[in-house]
């Protein structure tokens, strides 16, 4: 499953490819993470930033987060596609049985596509006879938070962010930025390139600490998922390429 399947069709030898974008996404997330780390490390040494360092650092952290969620999205979609397209798999035992079960029980592609990301993982765990992720599982809970960040960034709407520590009145509405600060303020190291007076989200949030947290928790959830369903993870062969610093 870690290789791109190639198929020859007809007498003229038509070649068809099946790519695995999940691998590219997690490699990209890890690379962006390392690049953000290198800028933070250089800043800690010199206390200086080049003209574009802030912009590059922000881009690296932002795209590490987006790519980590894209990895999880592509990973589960690729598994579903292989099952419903009746792909040949090396293991004719448990893998074949699981694919047949997924194809029989979740044949409706539209229903699958419209399901939330984590619902897809939980449902396929159930179809495999495995226990779903408990909501108390730390990595699974972190992925819920990561997906919330991704959704906010992709469907962004402007909002006022109050940076003072004034007392909140009962009529004040909690902003998304404040909710993220409550959820994430102790989850990882804050971005060291911005002063403490800046809002937590996105300024102090989106740094190497957040990027690394996104990559590591995505891999923990993916590793746990594939171990539970008894199928080798398709990214197993590139694990050495996924360092975060």
Q: What percent of the chain clears pLDDT 90, i.e. is strictly above it? A: 69
Banded pLDDT at 115 (limits 50, 70, 90): very high
- To the nearest 10 degrees (0 to 180), the angle between helices 94-105 and 53-84 is 90
Given a cut of 90, whether residue 87 has pLDDT beyond it is: no
* Per-residue pLDDT, 13: 59
- Across the chain, what does the average pLDDT equal? 89
CB within 8 A of 227, min separation 6: which ones? none
Banded pLDDT at 7 (limits 50, 70, 90): low
Residue with tokens 């953000």: 36
- The residue-averaged pLDDT of 138-157 equals 96
* Per-residue pLDDT, 1: 44
DSSP 37-89: HHHHHHHHHHS---TTHHHHHHHHHHHHHHHHHHHHHHHHHHHHHHHHTT---
In whole angstroms, give the CA distance from residue 240 to residue 177: 35
C-alpha distance from residue 148 to each of 22, 67, 139, 186 (Å): 20, 14, 14, 17
Given a cut of 60, whether residue 106 has pLDDT beyond it is: yes
Residue with tokens 């996924």: 242
* Domain chopping of the chain, boundaries: 6-162+173-238
Residues 169-181 have pLDDT tens digits of 555 788 998 999 9
Least confident of 12-21, 39-48, 75-84, 232-241: 12-21
Banded pLDDT at 155 (limits 50, 70, 90): very high
- The residue-averaged pLDDT of 201-216 equals 97
Cβ burial of 147 (10 Å; 0-12, 13-18, 19+) is: middle
Higher-confidence residue of 32 and 51: namely 32
């Amino acid at each position: 499953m870690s290789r791109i399947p190639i198929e020859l069709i007809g007498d003229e030898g038509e070649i068809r490819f099946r790519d695995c974008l999940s691998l590219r996404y997690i490699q990209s997330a890890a690379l962006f993470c390392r690049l953000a780390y290198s800028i933070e490390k250089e800043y800690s040494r010199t206390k200086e930033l080049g003209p574009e360092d802030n912009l590059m650092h922000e881009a690296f952290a932002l795209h590490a987060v987006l790519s980590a969620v894209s990895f999880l999205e592509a990973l589960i979609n690729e598994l579903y596609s292989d099952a419903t397209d009746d792909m040949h798999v090396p293991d004719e035992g448990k893998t074949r049985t699981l694919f047949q079960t997924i194809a029989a029980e979740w044949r409706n592609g539209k229903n699958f596509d419209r399901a939330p990301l984590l619902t897809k993982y939980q449902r396929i765990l159930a179809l495999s006879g495995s226990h779903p992720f408990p909501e108390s599982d730390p990595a699974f809970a972190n992925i819920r938070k990561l997906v919330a960040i991704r959704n906010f960034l992709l469907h962004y709407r402007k909002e006022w962010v109050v940076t003072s520590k004034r007392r909140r009145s009962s009529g004040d509405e909690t902003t998304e930025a404040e909710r993220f600060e409550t959820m994430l303020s102790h989850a990882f190291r804050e971005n060291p390139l911005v002063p403490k007076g800046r809002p937590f989200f996105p300024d102090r949030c989106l740094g190497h600490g957040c990027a690394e947290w996104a990559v590591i928790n995505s891999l923990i959830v993916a590793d746990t998922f594939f171990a539970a369903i008894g199928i080798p993870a398709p990214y197993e062969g590139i694990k050495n390429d996924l360092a975060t610093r």
